[in-house]
Structure 1
Amino acid sequence: MSEPLTTKQAIHHIKPSELESFVHRILVGNGVTEKHASTVADCLVQADLRGVDTHGSNRIPSYMQRIRQKVLDPSASPELQEITPVAALVDGKNAFGFVSAHLAMQKAIKMAEVFGLGLVSVKNSNHFGMSAWLVQQAIDAGMMSLVFTNSSPALPVWGGKSKLMGVSPIACGAPAGNERPFILDMAPSVAARGKIYKALRRGEKIPTDWALDSEGNMTDDPAKALEGVMLPMGGPKGSALAIMMDVFSGVFSGSAFAGNVTGPYDPSKPADVGHFLMAIKPDLFVSLDDFKDRMDYLYQRVVGSDKMGGVDRIYYPGEIEQITREKRLLEGIPFTELEIESLNKEAELVGVEKLQYGV
């Protein structure tokens, strides 16, 4: 029998529009421009709506702490440099990763509209939250996409025992016709590191196959897991995917790589994260109508597959998150009271209206 929830663990549902307005106020109060605050707030709330709570508004306290530590520049404006007609470079200038990546995908889409594809490398950036929002940005423009990033060390290479590679997400997507679009967004680890931070905030245990403690032992304690290392999915396969993210995002862009990306709780220096984004026109080889029909057929074949024992429904990549978004748009986004209090402390620090709940 499960233990009853404490007051601090009780769940409250917040309207998405109220949450986005709240996050925007905190960002502006910390020196972020109105335009950039709108981008960051929208991206964080989109993660919350999709159920990716680890990359949503709960990240605000850690982001604001980096601003206070002067290792993230809230007022910086990324600079775009065209390299070729289909390639560009964004210097993030240590601004929010959301802002740099959003600019990069905008440029990639514009190039793809003219030349069929566009790729943009980003350097001197920061964490950009949930990769799926960039994939969605491309889908909304009718584009296929690839979205890579590197991140601070959290994962050992296969056969090693110390942190070297980041738990860096691999994301891609493609639009469809009448069915749901294809959206893949996954970490090369057994679980995203943000899920461990979430478990720590909520006083929960984690599965023992997610991470090792500092002694190299499996643990269900999120605090000990954060002192140790994440485990790669599929052993050497997950390790190789993490290295691939470093090649395309770090080595290629001129940003930090090989374990040198600064961690989100390390105030010693800027993160220097690198990203790689590509937009592709879906009708390069077949007509757009044909492409959409083919994507719809793929969706139908996947979700209509014969089910193994105990399975009630087969989901397409990204479908569960899209269903969650539809539900949360109606019901609100769930937060524990402890999480809301943490966010409201940030509101207090800059003297803006707090997030209301329980009324």
Structure 2
Amino acid sequence: MATLRVRHQDAHEFVVNLLKASGVSASHAAIVAQGLVEADLRGVDSHGINRIPSYLARIRAGVLDPKAEPTLTQVTPVVAQVNAHNGFGSPAAHLAMSTACTIASTFGIGLVSVKHSNHFGMSAWLVRQAVDRGMMSLVFTNSSPALPVWGGKSQLMGVSPIACGAPGGNDSRPFILDMAPSVAARGKIHKALRRGEKIPKGWALDAEGRETEDPAEALKGVMLPMGGPKGSALAVMMDVFSGVMSGSAFAGGVVGPYDLKGPGGVGHFIVAIKPDLFVSLEEFRERMGILYKKVVESDRAEGVERIYFPGEIEQLTEEERLKDGIPYVQDEVDALNAEADNLQVPRLKVLA
């Protein structure tokens, strides 16, 4: 399918205009746009600006408050909580990570929980926020039911990403892990549906419990956990730390970003850690450089041309898309421009 290229600056401006026209403050609109565009730049197209139509639908349905301001409560010197008040997840999570990093810069570690939130996009953009401040981090969230517990057949756990990161060495890339506990992120199913593509077998089951390559049928059924009971247990872990502990929805109670039945009730769990707590920063960076080199220079298995450090492929994709633009298919651009027409803001600029 032919693709259209868009400059990242134009994608960012487009999203900001849509959100501001929908009642979102300029500062919050910029944060939401940053996270979505960064996902597209990194090749995580399932969490990019094509999420905007679902976000706007939730605003129109009155189940997401575009004007909500997250509030911060200090619990202990090293622990805080953000209440998102059913606003966008991105500004609340951004505040949480900023707070965690500030606390960690003084005390070595900062832990911030977020409650009453919504979808915050790609977890890696929060990890990068910490990396850019020279911090290690953990980013957890729970999400709407999509995954059965091991041995079950109905949706109960979310396909909730597990993310963490650490600054790199002087001559190496940072470590950035962002993965779902399922074989594939559910957003990839929505992406395949948008683009009229099939999904690989082994990703999901339909409503009758059969393997399917049809994304529409997959969305009626369940995602499959990676590693069987291991992926299922990781999904439960996300619910414990993000939902149960924070006071947010849990045990199947989270409402997803494509659902209009009520507030999201999403919870997040964010930790920032100073990397020089046990060794000097210079030694930490030296050791990270050694780790990076050992990983990427490992003996390659047959048929493998290159070994990548976690997050490196996405960083290389970002470098390419910053130069050549972000690719979207025509149907995606048309759906975004329909939102622009409805809100009477400029359409998405496409490179000639």
TMscore range, shorter length: over 0.9
CA distance in 2, matches of 1:21, 1:14: 11
Does the 8 A contact of 2:119 with 2:256 survive in 1? no
CA distance in 2, matches of 1:265, 1:174: 32
Residue matched to 2:46: 54
Residue matched to 1:155: 147
CA distance in 2, matches of 1:254, 1:357: 43
Residue matched to 1:260: 253
CA distance in 1, matches of 2:91, 2:173: 27
Instruction: Quote how far apart the aligned CAs of 1:353 are.
Output: 0.5
Instruction: Quote how far apart the aligned CAs of 1:269 are.
Output: 1.1
CA distance in 1, matches of 2:349, 2:268: 36
Does the 8 A contact of 2:137 with 2:164 survive in 1? yes
Residue matched to 1:245: 238
Superposition map of 1:55-134 within 5 A: 55-134=47-126
Which letter maps to 1:52? V
TM-score (norm: length of structure 1) = 0.97
Q: 2:287 aligns with which of 294, 313, 316?
A: 294
Instruction: Quote how far apart the aligned CAs of 1:358 are.
Output: 5.8
Report whether the alignment pairs 1:42 with 2:34: yes
Q: 2:23 aligns with which of 4, 27, 31?
A: 31
| CA deviation string 1:257-316 (max 9, x = no partner) | 001101223222101000000000000000000000000100000000000000000011
Q: 1:174 aligns with which of 151, 161, 166?
A: 166
CA distance in 2, matches of 1:93, 1:358: 38
Superposition map of 1:299-338 within 5 A: 299-338=292-331
CA distance in 2, matches of 1:33, 1:168: 28
Which letter maps to 2:315? Q
CA distance in 2, matches of 1:218, 1:91: 39
Report whether the alignment pairs 1:352 with 2:332: no
CA distance in 1, matches of 2:216, 2:285: 46
Instruction: Quote how far apart the aligned CAs of 1:357 are.
Output: 2.5
Does the 8 A contact of 2:42 with 2:317 survive in 1? yes
Instruction: Quote how far apart the aligned CAs of 1:176 are.
Output: 1.4
Does the 8 A contact of 2:137 with 2:273 survive in 1? yes
Residue matched to 1:231: 224
Instruction: Quote how far apart the aligned CAs of 1:121 are.
Output: 0.3
The Cα RMSD (Å) is 0.7
Report whether the alignment pairs 1:144 with 2:145: no
Percent of pairs identical after alignment? 66
Secondary structure of 2:268 counterpart: strand
CA distance in 2, matches of 1:198, 1:45: 15
Long gaps (5+) in structure 1 = 1-8
| CA deviation string 1:192-233 (max 9, x = no partner) | 000010100111001110000000000000000000000000
Choose 83-92 or 265-274, whichever is displaced more.
265-274
TM-score (norm: length of structure 2) = 0.99
CA distance in 1, matches of 2:168, 2:202: 36
Residue matched to 2:206: 213
CA distance in 2, matches of 1:278, 1:289: 22
CA distance in 1, matches of 2:259, 2:122: 21
CA distance in 2, matches of 1:43, 1:98: 7
| CA deviation string 1:223-245 (max 9, x = no partner) | 00000000000000000000000
Question: How many residue pairs end up in the alignment?
Answer: 351
| Displacement over 3 Å in runs of 4+ | none
Which letter maps to 1:195? K
Does the 8 A contact of 2:72 with 2:81 survive in 1? yes
CA distance in 2, matches of 1:265, 1:241: 23
Instruction: Quote how far apart the aligned CAs of 1:87 are.
Output: 0.1
